[in-house]
């Protein structure tokens, strides 16, 4: 077995590991509101979401093509660049999961790859027009659009049911939430699973086993990525589910159905056009809109601002990690460099997981009452220990 083939295998394994973290990092985008309102039990929700993410991953490959060919110069890509970019994405995903911050897995991945490319080839290796049109503009516009749609939807729901006792409508809206949350999970599979497919496709192009002119990744790539994101989704990602379900607003079932319907429509539309959309941005915008659309509802703007700050930092932070990972890989050289960074990534992941056990969040306590003060203290403690 040649050295380059071993590196390719490590790249594919790391890509599937990223896909796995993407799954548990983003489960809350689809199921947080349904869990918070009691429309679905926590374990039932993540199981349903995992199945639908698996199915959704087979429905579209437009986003995979965007990732593989629209962000960096495919002619300059090496296996080491792809690997370093994945390390950047995984590291940021795990850190934000530990802090319970619903940041964008998509932007973490893209930032990591861009950072690695900048370190390797300079700014000429990045397709800046594609980054702006397919990443930056959707990142800015999608939460705003989702928020407006969810605000109008929530206001309309409460307007139509005005005067009807809440206990009379709550059951119907909870049933509706099951359908809308399922649609978000399906939409998530059509968008987020494609990103890892695109990265593996990029690695295969670099290795020379597929042509850059190919329009679709190989079937084994699609199947493995769909499976990895589904397994990650089933794991739950309870810390982020809690933030989205309990941290932004005290959500009721009519608001949940409006938020989920808004998210599903926007994500599916983006997948159709091949936009590498952040489902986290969409889901958060929808939940905030659901809070604004209900008269008298309270929105926890402090929590929302922390999320927005993380969104702004995600691309450059992941890019820095990606650039650093590439620097170490290239400095050591070849397979040895890849193995050094791979082991370091595993060590960081283990440390983050061990730290998370100190204040575990799972399906038993995900719906506990929100205490913003304790959440800030936990974030400060993690920051101090890091």
């999961």: which residue's tokens? 97
* 212 to 171, 216, 375: CA distances (angstroms): 52, 10, 47
Tokens of residue 375, six digits:
């959440």
Write down the pTM of the prediction: 0.87
Q: Which of 35-44, 144-153, 187-196 has the lowest mean pLDDT?
A: 187-196
* 80 to 74, 114, 214: CA distances (angstroms): 13, 13, 22
Whether pLDDT at 320 is above 70: yes
Q: How confident is the model at residue 270 (pLDDT cuts 50, 70, 90)?
A: confident
Q: How far is CA 225 from the centre of its chain?
A: 14
User: Average pLDDT of 308-329?
Assistant: 94
Q: Which of 215-224, 283-292, 359-368 has the lowest mean pLDDT?
A: 215-224
User: Residue 248: CB partners within 8 Å, gap ≥ 6?
Assistant: 284, 287, 288, 291, 299, 300, 303, 304
Asked if 173 contacts 257 with a C-beta cutoff of 8 angstroms, the reply is yes
Number of domains in the chain: 1
- Neighbour count for residue 360 (Cβ, 10 Å): 10
Q: How confident is the model at residue 369 (pLDDT cuts 50, 70, 90)?
A: confident
- The torsion of the CA quartet 63, 67, 69, 70, rounded to 10 degrees, works out to 90
Task: Domain of residue 41: give its range.
Answer: 3-385
Q: How confident is the model at residue 372 (pLDDT cuts 50, 70, 90)?
A: low
Indicate the SS3 state at residue 201. helix
- Predicted confidence at residue 18, as pLDDT, reads 94
Which has the closest alpha carbon to 185: 27, 325, 320, 292? 27
pLDDT digits (tens, 9 = 90+) for 65-112: 666 567 788 788 899 999 999 999 999 999 999 999 998 888 898 899
Q: Which residue has the higher pLDDT, 218 or 379?
A: 218
User: Residue 180: CB partners within 8 Å, gap ≥ 6?
Assistant: 256, 257, 260, 261, 264
% pLDDT > 70, the chain? 92
- HSE of 112, CA atoms in CB hemisphere, 13 A: 30
- Neighbour count for residue 280 (Cβ, 10 Å): 30
Q: How confident is the model at residue 170 (pLDDT cuts 50, 70, 90)?
A: confident
């Amino acid at each position: 077995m040649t050295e380059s083939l071993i590196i390719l295998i490590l790249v594919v394994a790391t890509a599937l590991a990223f896909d796995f973290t993407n799954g548990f990092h983003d489960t809350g985008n689809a199921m947080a509101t349904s869990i918070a309102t009691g429309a679905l039990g926590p374990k039932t929700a993540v199981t349903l979401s995992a199945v639908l993410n698996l199915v959704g991953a087979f429905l579209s490959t437009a986003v995979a093509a965007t990732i593989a060919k629209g962000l960096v110069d495919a002619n300059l890509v090496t296996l080491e660049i792809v690997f370093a970019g994945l390390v950047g994405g995984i590291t940021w995903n795990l850190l934000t999961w530990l802090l319970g911050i619903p940041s964008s897995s998509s932007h973490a991945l893209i930032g990591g790859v861009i950072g690695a490319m900048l370190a390797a080839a300079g700014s000429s290796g990045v397709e800046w027009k594609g980054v702006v049109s397919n990443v930056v503009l959707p990142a800015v516009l999608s939460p705003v659009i989702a928020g407006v749609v969810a605000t109008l939807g929530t206001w309309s729901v409460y307007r139509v049911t005005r005067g009807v006792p809440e206990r009379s409508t709550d059951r119907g809206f909870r049933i509706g939430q099951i359908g809308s949350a399922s649609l978000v999970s399906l939409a998530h599979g059509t968008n987020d699973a494609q990103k890892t497919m695109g990265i593996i496709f990029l690695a295969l192009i670099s290795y020379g086993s597929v042509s850059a002119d190919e329009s679709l990744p190989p079937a084994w790539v699609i199947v493995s990525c769909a499976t990895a994101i589904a397994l990650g989704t089933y794991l739950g990602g309870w810390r982020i589910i809690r933030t989205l379900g309990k941290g932004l607003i005290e959500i009721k079932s009519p608001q949940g159905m409006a938020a989920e319907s808004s998210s599903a429509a926007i994500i599916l539309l983006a997948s159709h056009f091949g936009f590498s959309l952040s489902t986290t941005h969409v889901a958060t915008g929808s939940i905030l809109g659901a809070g604004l659309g209900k008269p008298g509802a309270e929105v926890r703007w402090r929590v929302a601002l922390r999320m927005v700050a993380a969104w702004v930092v995600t691309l450059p932070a992941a890019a820095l990690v990606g650039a650093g990972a590439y620097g170490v890989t290239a400095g050591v050289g070849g397979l040895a460099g890849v193995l050094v960074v791979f082991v370091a990534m595993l060590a960081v992941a283990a440390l983050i997981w061990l730290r998370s056990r100190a204040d575990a969040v799972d399906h038993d306590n995900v719906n506990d009452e929100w205490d913003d003060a304790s959440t800030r203290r936990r974030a400060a403690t993690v920051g101090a220990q890091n």
